[in-house]
Amino acid sequence: MTVEVILGAALQLLEAEGVERLTTNHIAARAGVSIGTVYQYFRDKDDILAALAQQRAGAVRDDIAQLVISPPGANAVRAIVQALTRSFDDAPRARAALLDAMYRGRDDGGLQQHHQAFLAAIDGKVQLHAELTPERAFVLTHAPVSLLRAAAAEPGLGLDPQALEDELVRLLEAYLAALPAAR
């Protein structure tokens, strides 16, 4: 419970003030715990950011695995892209910092850990029209996340969220359509 309170406080501060102003002292004060309590669970601010990123990514990963496993619908790719793009609707200012923290990772390999967990979650539960080689799985899982990270890091571009979603769907559908059929 204490960890959740600390993470919740960190997310609130990150969203309200940005990553530059986020400190463990501010987090402890917002969470209503001592700084020693924060350090009991986390080494530093980066450790807290990594935990927040892992928490968010794990929830999205599980949602997407369920979408992939369930019977495919006409808009399956769009549903997956929407799960990714809307995963930060409640914390748009925190998006870039948390995506960066996920890429940096800490002790668990960051994005690689989620990539492997996703593949394990769908293993043997879904039939694809093409063989899912490690390279294809990498492209399918990393391309949209990498593009969303870039979009979050470059807010000055003024990208329209709906248009970006449409382009990500187009990209993934074209890639999937170009894959040779499984034999």
The mean pLDDT of 99-119, rounded to a whole number, is 74
Do the beta carbons of residue 34 and residue 12 sit within 8 Å?
Answer: no
pTM of the model: 0.79
Give the model's confidence band at 105: pLDDT under 50 very low, under 70 low, under 90 confident, else very high.
low
The mean pLDDT of 131-153, rounded to a whole number, is 88
Among 177, 166, 11, 1, smallest CA distance to 94 is for 11
Token look-up 């997310």 returns 11
Scanning the chain, the segments in alpha helix (DSSP H) are: 2-17, 24-31, 35-41, 45-69, 76-85, 95-104, 111-122, 134-153, 161-178
Per-residue model confidence (pLDDT) at position 153: 85
Per-residue model confidence (pLDDT) at position 93: 81
Q: Which residues contact 175 (CB under 8 A, 6 or more apart)?
A: 139, 140, 143
Q: Which residues contact 161 (CB under 8 A, 6 or more apart)?
A: 85
Q: What percent of the chain has pLDDT over 90?
A: 42
For residue 16, pLDDT over 90 is answered with yes
Give the model's confidence band at 160: pLDDT under 50 very low, under 70 low, under 90 confident, else very high.
very high
Per-residue model confidence (pLDDT) at position 169: 95
d(CA 144, CA 149): 9
